Chain A
Amino acid sequence: QKEVEQNSGPLSVPEGAIASLNCTYSDRVSQSFFWYRQYSGKSPELIMSIYSNGDKEDGRFTAQLNKASQYVSLLIRDSQPSDSATYLCAVSRGTGGFKTIFGAGTRLFVKA
């Protein structure tokens, strides 16, 4: 079992729709959870972090965390073609030397 699992996609959604990206992780003591966006040929860019169970909203993005189910998701509302990218889920036990584990990423295509 991979430490952080994501559906590789591609996930294709029409412009204006909600894109739902999912991630599961195996380390039960994980405390910090992140979503990164990576455009082709670019480096990863942090778009969301979440530390507590529940939802966290930032603009069109909502991160959802369920530690009991070891599940993290990212919802992108009103998807735009500019959201087309690979989204990496990342998990860490915390700060100060704990390794962050990255998933393989989900490719998202938003069709105009």
Chain B
Amino acid sequence: SAVISQKPSRDICQRGTSLTIQCQVDSQVTMMFWYRQQPGQSLTLIATANQGSEATYESGFVIDKFPISRPNLTFSTLTVSNMSPEDSSIYLCSVESTSGAEQYFGPGTRLTVT
């Protein structure tokens, strides 16, 4: 399985500001995913990020609010823009296994917006 790191691990941000979350993988992967997990809830997919193409966003998530970069096969960023308290959540990146549909998750970024 891939080793995935995320930065920052947590942050407290003010309303109206933006935060960029970084996801680094120790091997080259095609598919990377960004999820949000609110307290006590399951995972909600924000978008799928493939290297060399635009990210694909799920219903309810838009590029202006959650711009994603995928500059190479080991790195991606998710920006949470113009934040509001409703954006307080854990943000997780994951990668798809090269041998199947299994996904492996980074440690997550805990975001609190005040």
Contacts and interface: CB of A to CB of B under 8 A. Distances in A.
Contact of B104 (A46, A90, A95, A98): A46
Contacts, number: 51
B78 interface: no
Range of interface residues on chain A? 20 to 34
A46 B1 CA distance: 10
Contacts of B86: none
B12 interface: no
Interface in A90-110: 90, 92, 94-100, 102-105
Given A46-B1, A99-B58, 18 more contacts: A31-B101, A32-B102, A34-B103, A42-B108, A43-B92, A44-B92, A44-B105, A46-B102, A49-B102, A51-B100, A88-B42, A90-B103, A94-B101, A95-B96, A99-B45, A99-B48, A100-B101, A104-B42
Interface of B: 1, 31, 41-43, 45, 48, 50, 58, 92, 96, 100-108
